[in-house]
Each structure stands twice: as structure tokens, then as C-alpha cells.
A and B are shown apart, each in its own frame.
Chain A
């Protein structure tokens, strides 16, 4: 036992500071395999913390971006699970349920309201007739307006009437027939956000719209990532003339007015993709069919013009990294250029790549809604948040909720991606944090 202890002490000394004298006094015991006890003393007390764990820890302590992450997860569920839970389809016309508000009146209240409105209209008509008799000719519209101002027309204004009768709005939209069926004991799912002029449920349409926006955002960001990372790393790694030429091209694309070209590109790509989908050949046909030619043309347009930012950032990173020793070591070991880029350089700028990709998503969503709003984006019956807002513009005075709902969801979506991206940047690259 004492011998062991002695041995261990000796061992420890050797470990901490190599003492020449001790080294010279090597005994065969020094080469004996370590005991369990000794092995244990080498195990670190703390678990090693990897890059991602560390980043996650930092991210978790950032309350704003955690809330943003929560909102994003909620919206993902809303967009991808929601429509399959709902009993209505996004392109289903619910007959008799057109133009519903996101609120309703109970059956009795509705009747009262209709009656009162009817009587007010009657009063107005009577007043018109009397005036016409007095005058002996038809009334001009100005005279009519004057009479309207005199007669008690509070019945025509729903808001005032509601106050007079003491009727309250009830949450969610039901059509009259649905209310009747509900009174009979049938279970009816309400139109929570109301319906549009064809009787389509706005909640389901919002879900589908959010899904489209998210898909465009994710796919466009992915394409940008692929093109930008390859281009940027080749340009940065090659250096010299190749780099100069490649960066000139990037500068050129930078100065092209992207909105104009994206608009044209999205319109131009649409038809060939449709033809391709209907042609019946080609392996990607199913893929095109699932997403729809409109969507694909949109994110191809996006990817073709927006990869330049990513390429610039990655090139900058690679320029710094390629001078470091590990690259020299890899070269000395005979690694090919492609291997150095793939295995050694790109993994080292993963933080930047993730952050830039994440911040591409909101700008892609931005662009998609912009295009859809202008009528170049997804086409009916598929919808997106942008095209819903643009459809609602016509009846904005009466049905403002149709505009407000998609607008708010779109803003929340972009906002949470922005906030999450900011948080991710702080977490992945703490040096940037000020």
C-alpha cells in the first residue's frame, strides 16, 4: 500500500513538472498500467462544454430571443398543424356564411337588430315620400341627405342601435343557419376570424398564408446559403485574380436594382415551371407540384439575387482563416483544396453562416409578401399573407379585420425572426456583443 502511495506521488510529480532527476530514476513500476483509482483522478470534474452548448446557454439567458423562439414555434404549429385540425379547407366555399365578421349576435339579438334596422329604414322612406309629395317632384340626392340628417336614423347605424337595445357582440363568427343548427344541438366550429366574400374561413386562410410565407423564407434562405457559401469560399480561398473577378461580379449584382429584376424574374419563371409541371417528365416534377410553380419561381428569384451578401461575409471569414496554421497543416498532409474548404474552413465560420442564414429568412418573407401584394406572387386559390392583405384592400372600410389580421401576423412573424436572429448572433459570436 505504502509502495503504491509512493508510486502515485512520484507519478503526480512527473505529471505536473517533469523533473529531470526523477525521469532518470525510472523504475519498471512506472510503466505499470494505471489503476482504476488513478484513472479516475484524470477524469475532469466538469463536463467539457462544446461550442453549441455554450451558445445555447447564452441564448437561453437572452429572454427576448427565447420569447421570439417561442413565437416562431407557435407560428410553425399554427401554420403546419393548424390547417389539418380545422374542419374547413382554405379554398372551401361555405355557402350562406359569406362576409362574416369575427363576431356574431345571438339569434334573438340578431332578429331584434334586423327589426330595428328595418323600422329605421321604413321611417326614412316615409319621410322621403312625404317630402316628395310636398315638393311635387322627385328629390335630389342633396335634399335626401338633408332629410336623412333630420329624421332619427340612429337605427341605421349598427353601433348606436346596439347601445340602444343593449345588445352585445359575441366572440367568433357564425352564420345564421349555423346558429340555427347550433341551437338544434349540432356541434359547429365557429369562424374565429370570420369569413371573406366567398365564405372562406379566414383563420384557415391565415394559417395557409403563414405556411407559404415560412416555406418561402426557409427555402430561399437555404438556397442563398448554398450559393453564397460555395461562391464565397471559393473566392476567398482562391484569392488573387480569381477573387478579384468573382468579387467584381458580386459588385455588379449588388448594384442591380433587385426589386425590379425579382419582379420580372418571378413573372417570367412562372410559366416555364407550370409547363414543366404539366409536361409529365422529370424527377423534380412532384416537388414542383407540391410547392406550386409560383412559390418556386419566387424563391429562385430571391436566391439568384440575394446570395451576394452571404458570399461577401463568407469570403471575409475565409480570407482570415486561410492564413492560420491548421490550414497549412492540412495542406502539408496533402489535403485537396475542396477538402480544406469543406472540412476545415467552412466549419470554422459556421457561426456567421447560421446567423446570416437566419437573418435572410425575414427578408425573404418580406419580399414574398411584397410580391404577393403586388399580385405577382402566389395565385388563387392558394394564398399568402401578402395577397390576403391585398385582397382585403377593396373592402377596407367595412371589413378592416381582413386586412389587420394578416398584416399583424406577418409583422409578428418577421419581428420574431429578426429578434431571434439578433439573439443568435450575440450567442454564437460573443465577441460582437457590445
Chain B
């Protein structure tokens, strides 16, 4: 386990380094600069600003300095969006909201998706199965912004009776304001989880140990949830790792639609504004988060299926 963790950690560091370099190169190749706004400052001002924030140095030097600071937990200061505020501060303020919405979205995807998948597998070929299959296939064909904006047009439409949930995010409204964003964000993973659960459940239900359990006289409930589901969950968990990443990035769109002041929306604005340290900071932070989630999912694997040996996990 220790060897495996160290190996993963090394991989994670290399990945982060690469992500940082790619981001740095890409963001510097985007034309424009953070200093351009409605009134273009004079060349002297631009030069002075560039010197102050170290933008006048060659790219490699900038990147090296940035990485050096990053190791010490310093991500620099915002150049434009919230001038001179440390990037770590901004992330600390923005991320909890994104994480909250992402968490609830994934939660409902799992809580609803897995039982639906079991239900469909148990009633294979009956109408329940067909209805669920249609819903889930449609669900994985709708980008999250389509779901979000359709919800928006329904709940913000002319019909007064339907205006139950606010369509513009307002933290003071409590849980009601989270309903629509979380639903929109979790709908795609929910459908995917249900599909995956169904197919792996069908696999599991056809195994001999299920026959044994039935022959023993166990009821359907324990058979499905104790014997079949535990084995069927493994492919579902495999999928959840990248899916958590998807939810946090799909969060961009949902945050834009519902005007949620989260990290995703901020990231896009920072690209538009060429706020270099903020782009770097959010990218690296999200990348680190995603890598961490993938690692946790791999560990979770072992909990569900003790036969899996992580050290030999290479396919």
C-alpha cells in the first residue's frame, strides 16, 4: 500500500507539473494582456506594471519562479479581477460553494442512480426496464446546459405556479436555491450510473453464487443488495472517479446558467480577462482536486472488493 501511494503521489506531482506548464504556455499564447481595458494605458504604464508583476521576464524564468512559490503554497496575486488579492484567498472563498453543489449533485446521482439501475435489472425486459432505459438514454444525450436551461425556462417561465425554485442563485434562500443547479448537474451522472448499474447487475445476477443464494432460500432483498450489488458496484465506482471531475467541470456551465458565484464561473472569467495568476491557480487547484478524487476512488475499490491488489493495478 505504501509503495503504491508513493507511486501515485509521484505520478500526481508529474501530472501537476505538466498541467502547470501546459497552462502556462497556453495562457501566454492567448493574445492580449491583463492591462487592457476600456482605456488603454500608456506604454510606460504597461511596462511598469509588467515589471512590477514580473511579466517582463522570459517565460521559463516566470514559470520557474511560479513553481518555486507554488511549493511554498503561494499562488501569486490576482492581476485584474480582484486586484492584488492572493489567489489562494480567492479560491478559498469560491471553492466551498462549487464543492457543495458538486457534492449534492453526485450524491443524488448515486442515491437515485444505483437503486434505479437495480430496479431495471431486477425487472429486466418488463415495462419498468424499458421506461428507465429510455429515460437514461435521453439523459446521457443531454448536455448539462440543456438540462439547466430547460429547467430555467420551465421554472422562470410565465407560469406563476411553477415559480417554486429560484432560478438565480441566492444563498439567503437556503436549500431551495440549490435544488435546480444540483438537479441539472447530477442528471447526466445519474443516468449514466443507472445504466452502468443495470448492466453490471445483470452480469452479477447471472452468476452461480446468486443461484446458490436463491437455493439457500434467501429473499430477493438480501440477494440483490448484499450479494449482487456489492459485486456490481465495481464498474460503477470506476466510472465515478472521472465523473466527479466531470461534475466539477460541468459545474462551469451550471454556474453560468444559474449565476452561481462559484469557482467554475470565475475560471472562465479569468480566461476572458487574462488574469494570469488566477488562471494558473484555478487550473492547478482543480487538477490537484481531480487527481485526489481519482486516488480516493482507487482506494475505495479495495474496500468494495478486497481481491483487488492496488500494487499490481497496472492493466
A415 touches B18 (CB 8 A): no
**Alpha-carbon gap, A366 to B249, bound state (A):** 13
Chain B residues, Cβ within 8 Å of A386: 143, 145
Q: Is the CB of A263 within 8 A of B271?
A: yes
Known contacts A257-B287, A263-B271, A369-B145, A252 near B140 by CB under 8 Å: no
Given contacts A271-B30, A374-B252, whether A252 and B14 have CB atoms under 8 Å apart is: yes
Question: Is A256 a contact of B143 with CB atoms below 8 Å?
Answer: no
The winner among A252, A392, A412 for most chain B CB atoms within 10 A is: A252
Q: Of the listed stretches B35-43, B95-103, B148-156, B227-235, name the one at the interface; the rest are far from the partner chain.
A: B148-156
Cα A267 to Cα B290 in complex, Å, equals: 22
Q: In the complex, how many residues of chain B place their beta carbon closer than 8 angstroms to a beta carbon of chain A?
A: 50
Please tell me if the beta carbons of B141 and A415 are within 8 angstroms of each other in the complex.
Answer: yes
Contact residues in B for A375 (Cβ distance below 8 Å): 268, 272
Q: How far is A415 from B141 in the complex, measured between Cα atoms in Å? A: 5
Does A410 belong to the interface (CB within 8 Å)? yes
Whether the Cβ atoms of B150 and A268 lie closer than 8 Å is no
**B267 and A407 contact, CB distance less than 8 A:** no
* Stretch of B21-29, B51-59, B61-69, B110-118 at the chain-chain interface: B21-29
Main secondary structure of the interface of B (DSSP, over half): helix
What would 28 A/B residue contacts be, using CB atoms closer than 8 Å? Answer: A251-B11, A257-B245, A257-B290, A259-B249, A261-B19, A263-B268, A264-B23, A264-B26, A267-B271, A271-B29, A369-B145, A370-B145, A373-B145, A373-B253, A374-B252, A374-B256, A375-B272, A376-B271, A396-B149, A396-B153, A396-B157, A397-B156, A403-B149, A407-B149, A411-B143, A415-B138, A418-B137, A418-B141
Taking the nearest CB of chain A, how far is it from the CB of B60, in angstroms? 18
Beta-carbon contact of B141 and A414 below 8 Å = yes
Q: At the interface, yes or no: B92 with Cβ under 8 Å from chain A?
A: no
Q: Which of A260, A265, A370, A404 contacts B143 (CB 8 A)?
A: A370
How many residues of A are counted as interface, with CB atoms below 8 angstroms from the partner's CB atoms?
Answer: 42
* Bound form: Cα–Cα A400–B157 in Å: 8
Task: Please judge, given known A-B contacts A255-B11, A268-B29, whether A404 and B150 are in contact too, CB under 8 Å.
Answer: yes
Is residue B126 within 8 Å, beta carbon to beta carbon, of the partner chain? no
Q: Report the separation of the CA atoms of residues A369 and B144 in the bound assembly, to the nearest whole angstrom.
A: 10
Interface check B88, CB cutoff 8 A: no
B291 at the binding interface (Cβ < 8 Å): yes
Cα of A300 to Cα of B22 in the assembled complex, Å: 15
Q: Are A252 and B271 in contact (CB under 8 A)?
A: no
Residues of chain B lying within 8 A (CB to CB) of residue A400: 153, 157
- Please give 12 more A-B residue pairs, beta carbons under 8 A apart, in addition to A268-B27, A272-B29: A255-B291, A256-B15, A257-B283, A259-B250, A260-B287, A271-B29, A362-B141, A389-B145, A392-B149, A393-B152, A400-B157, A404-B150
Which residues of chain A have C-beta atoms less than 8 A from B294's C-beta? 255
Give the docked Cα–Cα distance between A362 and B15 (Å).
28
Chain A residues within 8 Å of B, Cβ to Cβ: 251-252, 255-257, 259-261, 263-265, 267-268, 271-272, 362, 366, 369-370, 373-376, 386, 389-390, 392-393, 396-397, 400, 403-404, 407, 410-412, 414-415, 418-419, 434
A256, A265, A369, A412 pick with most chain B CB within 10 angstroms: A256
* Interchain CA distance A393-B22 in the complex, whole Å: 33
Interface centre among B14, B137, B271 (most CB of A within 10 A): B271
A297 to chain B, nearest CB (A): 11
Residues of B within 8 A of A393 (CB): 149, 152, 257
Bound-state CA distance A260–B268 (Å) is: 9
**In whole angstroms, how far apart are the Cα atoms of A400 and B23 in the complex?**
38
Checking B12, B150, B286 against A257 with a beta-carbon cut-off of 8 angstroms, the contacting residue is: B286
Q: Which residues of B contact A389 (CB under 8 A)?
A: 145-146, 149
Bound complex: CA of A367 vs CA of B22, how far in Å? 20
How long is the Cα–Cα vector from A414 to B256 in the complex, in angstroms? 22
Residues of A within 8 Å of B31, CB to CB, are 271
A410 contacts which chain B residues (CB < 8 A)?
143, 146
A411–B287 touching, CB < 8 Å: no
**Complex contact B149–A411 (CB within 8 A):** no
Interface flag for B142 (CB, 8 Å): yes
How distant is the Cα of A271 from the Cα of B246 in the complex, in angstroms? 28
